[in-house]
Structure 1
Amino acid sequence: MTGLDKVIKIDVISVPFSGHLFPTLTLVKPLLEDPRFQVRVITGFQKKELVEQIGFDCLALFPDRPTVMEDIANTAKQANLFIMYQQLRANSKLIPEVFNEINRIWDSEGQPDLIIADFVAAPAGVLADRLGIPWITTIPSPVAIESRTTTPAYLGGWKPHQGTFYKWRDALGRQVIRLAKKVGLALVKKNLDTLQDFKLYREDGTEGVYSPYSILALGMKELEFRDDFPSQLKWVGYRCLSFDHLPQEQKQYFMSSKKRVLVTCGTHLKWEKERMVELAKLLSQEHPDYVFYVTLGDPSGLEHPPRMLSDNLLIFDYLPYSDVLDQMDFAIHHAGAGILMGCIEEGIPSLILPQDYDQFDNAVRAELFQVGLVSRKKTDSEVLRLFNELVSQEDWNHLKVLAQRCKAYQPTEILYQEIERLLKVKL
């Protein structure tokens, strides 16, 4: 017996990218063990098999075009205005299809009682509002939420400063961000015929893509200098299981007594991977007493054995972070939210080379709160110098404190509280 009149049906909606889907699945996974809930995941076809292996029911979008979402996100070159416009245009054509498919599912199989949607799953929120279904936004990158009075994000990694000049700078930056969003929406609005009632901003000034009821920030408040987040936002800490597991036969490669360094730039940055391997080659030659483990971020290559370029340099197609991070002494990464928070959780000092989007803002926070060193020029000489500083630095007390505080968060408890509040039930 559940103790409720009926089982609570929850639909979890997310794009099929590891950095979006996995943190949200980690958050809701405890609900699988609770008979009071029926949880279903709606995502891209590429993740259907894995989601079902975890134990969720899964409905896959676009089974006839299994890589359509990944093809938009994974660019061959570093993002610029033209590439960003191309992505926006492609997404705007896809969004109505997603909207109609979710609507069809709910018409034929019944509506959920609650929706938990990743922060870029805009159609889910629009449809939920139309149907009067309460919804929760999960966001592993809280810097994406527009600042209203503080230093804005997505401008290359601005640091907060005191003084009149910087107040003017921040105010101008916030206006630039708003204008860019309005222009972007205007350019693709003709493709969004099913979302004509969508507004970028509500009457109270908050952004329409995030839930007006509940936003669960999958991160740490202690790693944030802003104090102007929406009132419905709650910090739940960051937990992210990879769900994929390192094959047993590959564990032999992690037995070295040398210091170990993970090198990664995530799953999306195809154009950076060759450069990353070259940097790892350089570092492995300069530091023969360290072993460098490079992951190329391709989940389809999980079972592939590594290429050993030298005794202390191994190239893996894919390494699940949650299976290998606790075996690392240092990391070199791009400041994606997942790897940044994973390193903090494990207390691993990082050399950070931000590349795109929110990574510059994440890197600023890593630097301000002293959990890693940031390479801005990203030249060979700078990377070599900063890596030497990284491995020589003995005082990582701030990192150790944050690692302890990271473990103190209670995400499951907060999730239950939000479900109770939104559905007006006692669990």
Structure 2
Amino acid sequence: MHAILATVGTDGDVFPHLGLGAVLRTRGHRVTVAAPEPYRARAEALGLAFASLVTTAEVGQMLAHPDLFHPLRSGRMMARWGAPMIPRQYELLVRLACEPESVLVTNPGVLAGRLVQEKVRCPTASLLLQPGLIPSSISPPQMVGGLTIPSWFPYPLRSLYWLALDAAGYWLVARSLNSVRATLGLAPVRRVFRWWWSTDLVIGLFPDWFAEPQPDWPPQLRLAGFGRFDGTRNELPEDVRTFCEAGSPPIAFTLGTGMTHAKGFFRAAVAACEKLGGRGLLLTKYPEQLPARLPPTVRHCGFAPFRALLPLCGAVVHHGGVGTTAAALESGCSQLVLPLAWDQPDNAARITRLGVGVALGARQRTAGHMASALARLMTQKVRTRCHEVAVQARGDNGFEVAAGWIEELARNKS
């Protein structure tokens, strides 16, 4: 089998495809990762072939845009950024998919992948990382910008909400998508957020205790559980380990690998540590975002595998990305979530319901707010609950389960 794993985005979007690719390779399959160019070295280090879906310059443009994590403008920004790439991404993926015994596994946001499935009938699975993308009227996800369906809203009318969301999707991206479809002899699409799921298989890379399946979910959706891959072989830099073990467990602070506008967040993080009399670890690839001088109780780390780091931490303050969320759940680390956009409010709500963390609103991001929330989290009651959930989270590796389903898809479609 030749598995083609296609995705765009940052570490949280790409690492699951790399982790799944590594598992598929150990099971004897040929794997090509189609992803942004900056991930070439990581893929090749795992023995995976690589094809570039997004150039390094285009990634830089995306990360530098101030609307990337805006609760309302982020969708429009990403649509304008990504729509012009659809034709060339289709050409790349269809060339790979026409090779013998190929199976395509795509992030739903890679619209070119669904075009390939329709045009050349390549067996295709959508890899869904977060439940917040599922348009359920029975159990609606928490949406950005206060746009969540309220609990009192009559159920028969909830379908109108999703129609409105699809109308927005049509305005944002379907017109560009349909111009490409016309050149391929395919009929136009109107409800993009229903169409973008593979009709063969949708693999949810999260467990049912994190998001209970609902009767109105896509019938082809199966839940594999969380995958475990942090971009490396889980080796923690020795200087980071030494710092973590040199005193009380530090608090880890991150807004994700794609955040390039976090100066205020890191200033507040340092001040929150000082208010608590605690230690902190600031995680960012962009050190220019940090205060000019850090106190001796706070240090910077450019990158650390979370499943190695978070068991050594007293808590983690983060944006609510599902990768950070899963790693913290498995590590038994309490979570303070500051959701910004995308699926992050939904993940934050699930963390809160599990009793392993709390979330702060957009106007609750000061050092005082963070220190107060962290003080509530770092109690024996919360630590006990985190350890209980960690036992659940350390179950089957979702990548192994997903790999078996992909092999099954390939056999059934051959």
TM-score range normalised by the length of the shorter chain:
0.7 to 0.9
Q: Does 1:56 align with 2:41?
A: no
Cα drift, residue 397 of structure 1: 4.6
Structure 2: distance between partners of 1:121 and 1:69: 15
Opposite residue 48 of structure 1, the aligned amino acid is R
Q: Does 1:405 align with 2:397?
A: no
Structure 2: distance between partners of 1:421 and 1:330: 40
2:265 to 272, 276, 292: 276
Structure 2: distance between partners of 1:168 and 1:399: 38
2:112 to 123, 139, 142: 123
| Identity across the alignment (%) | 18
* Partner deviation per Cα, 1:321-372 (whole Å, 9 max, x = no partner): 2331222121111111111111111111111111112111111111122120
Q: Does 1:340 align with 2:325?
A: yes
Aligned to 1:4: none
Opposite residue 2 of structure 2, the aligned amino acid is K
Task: Tell me whether 94-103 or 168-177 shows the greater mean CA deviation.
Answer: 168-177
**Secondary structure, aligned partner of 1:50:** helix
Q: Does 1:418 align with 2:411?
A: no
Q: Does 1:224 align with 2:211?
A: yes
Alignment of 1:239-318 (within 5 A): 239-244=227-232, 245-271=235-261, 273-288=262-277, 290-297=278-285, 309-318=294-303
Alignment of 1:62-101 (within 5 A): 65-72=55-62, 74-77=64-67, 78-79=69-70, 81-82=72-73, 84-101=75-92
Q: Does 1:23 align with 2:16?
A: yes
* Partner deviation per Cα, 1:256-295 (whole Å, 9 max, x = no partner): 2212211111022322x2122111111121122x210010
1:13 and 1:42 in contact (8 A); partners too: yes
Structure 2: distance between partners of 1:308 and 1:253: 17
Structure 2: distance between partners of 1:396 and 1:198: 52
Cα drift, residue 87 of structure 1: 2.5
Structure 2: distance between partners of 1:209 and 1:383: 38
**Secondary structure, aligned partner of 2:393:** helix
1:387 to 369, 374, 399: 374
Structure 1: distance between partners of 2:80 and 2:268: 34
Cα drift, residue 313 of structure 1: 0.9
Q: CA RMSD in A?
A: 3.0
2:23 and 2:403 in contact (8 A); partners too: no
Structure 1: distance between partners of 2:220 and 2:373: 40
**TM score, norm. by length of structure 2:** 0.86
Q: Does 1:43 align with 2:35?
A: yes
Structure 1: distance between partners of 2:120 and 2:306: 38
Structure 2: distance between partners of 1:222 and 1:174: 25
Number of residue pairs matched by the alignment: 402
Aligned to 1:113: 102
Cα drift, residue 158 of structure 1: 6.8
Q: Does 1:178 align with 2:163?
A: no
* Partner deviation per Cα, 1:162-199 (whole Å, 9 max, x = no partner): 55x46477455333322222222355457646565462
2:71 and 2:340 in contact (8 A); partners too: no
Aligned to 2:350: 365
Q: Unpaired segments of 5 or more residues in structure 1?
A: 1-7
* Partner deviation per Cα, 1:240-265 (whole Å, 9 max, x = no partner): 32223544454432322212211111
Cα drift, residue 83 of structure 1: 5.1
- Are the structure 2 counterparts of residues 379 and 423 from structure 1 closer, same or farther at C-alpha, using a change threshold of 3 Å? closer
Opposite residue 5 of structure 2, the aligned amino acid is V
Structure 2: distance between partners of 1:155 and 1:80: 5
Task: Tell me whether 336-345 or 115-124 shows the greater mean CA deviation.
Answer: 115-124
Runs of 4+ in 1 over 6 A off after TM superposition: 157-161
